[in-house]
Amino acid sequence: MNTNVKGHIVSVFGNMVTAEISGRVVKNSVGYCLRRDGVRLLCEVIRLRGNLSDLQVFEETRGLRIGDEVDFHEDMLSVTLGPGLLGQVYDGLQNPLPQVAEKAGYFLEPGVSIFPLDVERRWEWTPAVEPGNTVFAGDSLGSVPEGIFEHPVMAPFTWSGEFTVESIAGKGAYTIEEEIATLIDADDRKREVRMHQKWPVKRALRVARRRLMPTDPLVTRIRIIDSMYPVARGGTYCIPGPFGAGKTVLQQITSRNAEIDVVILTACGERAGEVVDTIREFPHLEDPRTGRSLMERTIIVCNTSAMPVAARDASVYTGVTLAEYYRQAGLHVLLLADSTSRWAQAMREISGRLEEIPGEEAFPAYLESRIAAFYERAGLIRLRDGRRASVTIGGTVSPAGGNFDEPVTQATLKVVGAFHGLSRERSDARRYPAIAPLDSWSKYAGVIEADKVERARSLLQRGDEVRQMMTVVGEEGTTVHDFTLMLKSEFFDASYLQQNAFDPVDGATSRERQQFVFDKILEVIDLNFEFEDKEEARNTMIKIGNLFRDWNYAPWDPNVRPSRTPEPSSGQTPDRHEKLKNPLEPHPQIRGSVNTGQENEPEGKKDGQVQPNSKDRGDFLTILRGIDKFIENKGREAKREDEIPGDKHSSHLLQKAKSITADARPRSRRTLSGRGPEEEEHKAPKTDDEG
């Protein structure tokens, strides 16, 4: 490291500073602009032109003057890796914000820098190697407990070649600054190992045996994602959508319920209000699988839109580097970046100050390559010890006006494996998640078979065609068959794709429940209803829709499985669903990995089995029998209120709707009761004057 190269400022333009240098300076290395009051402002070399160096400063440049000194280093912008990262809230430069607030108060002062890890905390160290063993970069030398995981202390990633363990610290409590091992390289040089190490944020961290193709679905417990447009572990996906369509909420729900080990939230240029809400809520959220605080396996990296654009650019790389580190530890990591559009806007601003040739909409010409390089750091790998670990990246895009043809969205679509496009129409209609089912797509396999997904998507497509036709010709010009097709697509959308994120049961649907309910949905869709008129079709689909919506709020019984139907005997009809005598045994849990199933959930909280007011939610098996009876009779016997539990309320609403009479206002559509305006006028009750 060379710390003797000096320079002096010749120009200041926003957060970009140009300095004249007289020695050797490396691109992407860091430096410090020295204000005359002694404050050191961290910066990065982004361009070299002869003896001139262009620097992006990560803080406000107010106070810098022409002639101020710049101190250059050969180190690249790096993050500190080690135990103690989980549960922290950092800025884009890995400064722990709670400690910064204690030191500087509510208003951040320039030049404040705090070491990201606690150097006084003692960790219970357990060695995993012995003197004389051979290790390589990234191999575990021992471990310390960090929350619910066993955090491996690995040989520094920057080292190369083969090393021999000369000494290893015994079991006990140590700080991260204490030496825990001494290794000898091929040149007989001794190298000390501590619990923490550094890695440059703009270099991909992938010390592994090989990279694998993502195949296993990442279960988010969001039905429209897991069933229709899945995400794979180690894959990539994007969530573009207009402002206010629910991108941030969708990411927070995913981080809470996804079957993943570690979650890293990167708030890149978000509004301060959203960032504050996230910081306030997450420490109080309960992990649905462990019963402990969700922050114990979460890292938040935040840079609000009020912070300098250079820091916004750094926050994205800081977040993905931390994700790669925990992947090297053998864990499955989910990185959520919100929003990559503001990251691209930061690149556009920096490019403009560098006077580079602009591309489309003034974004830099290298926009696509930067976005591709970011998403390519995701992946599933096999470590040297045979374990599999992954980083899954999900980024939101905020196109102006919801225009998906703008450069950032199009550049993202070229590299991601799944596209969850949010719709303004669905969000305005309160159909959440507001993912447009006809615009979204995925290249990954999900929890539902591909042929079943295609059948459901085909139904949605045909139902949308009928709906568009009805806007032109009206309901009167639509056949009963087409009208039924449209009602089936609405039934599938309302009963399965839409989900109440604030309900403890409906907010998170397990893989097994999704598979079970989806098959039952297809049974209803495949029924050949022989409706005599549209009124009968509407009433029947309303009833089965209410049944399924009530079913969504009923706690899941994991022991209910479709059983083989035995031959009827003694004239009795066998029950198509029964409880297994021996419930499935949970997989054994080992420290160091959060299981991806429901085994870790606290007793009485497995997917909402025991919830407040559970007695008012109905019984899963009872509603299931009502649905089976509906399917068996094709809805014919469902007209009677005593046949299907929970149907009294729906019938009351229907009778109330039918009792509404027409008024003198013009109507272009059918009324709430299903009759046209002319029919309503004919059926209006006569007054006493009319005799």
DSSP state of 295: G
Predicted confidence at residue 616, as pLDDT, reads: 66
- Per-residue three-class SS string for 430-455: CCCCCECCCCCEECCCCCCCHHHHHH
First vs last Cα of the chain: how many Å apart? 103
Rounded-to-integer distance, Cα 413 and Cα 231, Å: 14
Find the range with the poorest average confidence among 94-108, 252-266, 499-513, 601-615. Answer: 601-615
Express each pLDDT in 335-375 by its tens digit. Answer: 999 889 999 999 999 999 999 999 999 999 999 999 999 99
The token pair at 32 is 């410090």
The token pair at 274 is 């959203």
Predicted confidence at residue 675, as pLDDT, reads: 45
Q: Give me the residue label for tokens 């969850």.
A: 420
Find the range with the poorest average confidence among 90-99, 111-120, 300-309. Answer: 300-309
Express each pLDDT in 302-316 by its tens digit. Answer: 887 777 888 888 999
Q: What is the average pLDDT across 251-261? A: 92
Give 605's pLDDT tier (boundaries 50, 70, 90): very low
Express each pLDDT in 542-566 by its tens digit. Answer: 999 999 999 999 999 887 765 434 4
Express each pLDDT in 379-394 by its tens digit. Answer: 999 999 999 999 999 9
DSSP string over 212-252: E---SB---S-HIIIIIS--BTT-EEEEE--TTSSHHHHHH
Express each pLDDT in 171-224 by its tens digit. Answer: 999 999 999 999 999 999 999 999 999 999 999 998 999 999 999 999 999 999
Which amino acid would we find at residue 202?
Answer: K
For the chain, give the number of residues. 691
CA 466 → CA 341, 402, 460, 532, distances in Å?
Answer: 36, 25, 10, 19
Predicted confidence at residue 595, as pLDDT, reads: 40
Q: How many Cβ atoms from other residues are within 10 Å of residue 557's Cβ?
A: 16
Rounded-to-integer distance, Cα 346 and Cα 310, Å: 7
Give 640's pLDDT tier (boundaries 50, 70, 90): very low
Give 420's pLDDT tier (boundaries 50, 70, 90): very high
The pTM score is: 0.84
Rounded-to-integer distance, Cα 88 and Cα 604, Å: 30
DSSP string over 507-566: T---HHHHHHHHHHHHHHHT-----SSHHHHHHHHHHHHHHHHHHHHSPP-TTEEE---P
Q: How many Cβ atoms from other residues are within 10 Å of residue 588's Cβ?
A: 7
Task: Enumerate the H helices of 64-142 as residue ranges.
Answer: 97-104
Name 279's Cβ contacts closer than 8 Å, sequence gap at least 6. Answer: 89, 300, 302
Express each pLDDT in 44-63 by its tens digit. Answer: 999 999 999 999 999 889 99
Find the range with the poorest average confidence among 401-415, 525-539, 559-573, 611-625. Answer: 559-573
Predicted confidence at residue 379, as pLDDT, reads: 96
Express each pLDDT in 448-495 by its tens digit. Answer: 999 999 999 999 999 999 999 999 999 999 999 999 999 999 999 999
For residue 588, pLDDT over 50 is answered with: no
Q: Which residues pair with 300 in a beta bridge?
A: 89, 265
Q: Edge-to-edge, what's the strand order for the sheet holding 134-136?
A: 134-136, 162-168, 181-184, 190-193
Residue 485: enclosing H or E segment and its boundaries?
helix 480-492
| Of 655 and 331, more confident | 331
For residue 424, the number of C-alpha atoms closer than 13 Å in the C-beta half-sphere is 9
Query: Average per-residue pLDDT in the chain?
Result: 84
| Of 482 and 292, more confident | 482
- From its phi and psi, is residue 119 left (phi > 0), alpha (psi between -120 and 50) or beta? alpha
Interhelix angle 450-473/480-492, nearest 10 degrees: 130
Nearest CA to 385 among 80, 74, 141?
Answer: 141
Q: Give me the residue label for tokens 């051979």.
A: 134
Find the range with the poorest average confidence among 205-214, 443-452, 636-645. Answer: 636-645
Rounded-to-integer distance, Cα 482 and Cα 61, Å: 65
Domains of the chain with bracketed CATH: 6-76 (2.40.10.170), 118-195 (2.40.50.100), 210-445 (3.40.50.300), 467-585+592-646 (1.10.1140), 660-691 (no CATH)
| Residues 220/226, Cβ–Cβ less than 8 Å | yes
| Residues 472/478, Cβ–Cβ less than 8 Å | no
Phi and psi at 249, nearest 5°, equal -65, -40
Rounded-to-integer distance, Cα 114 and Cα 99, Å: 8
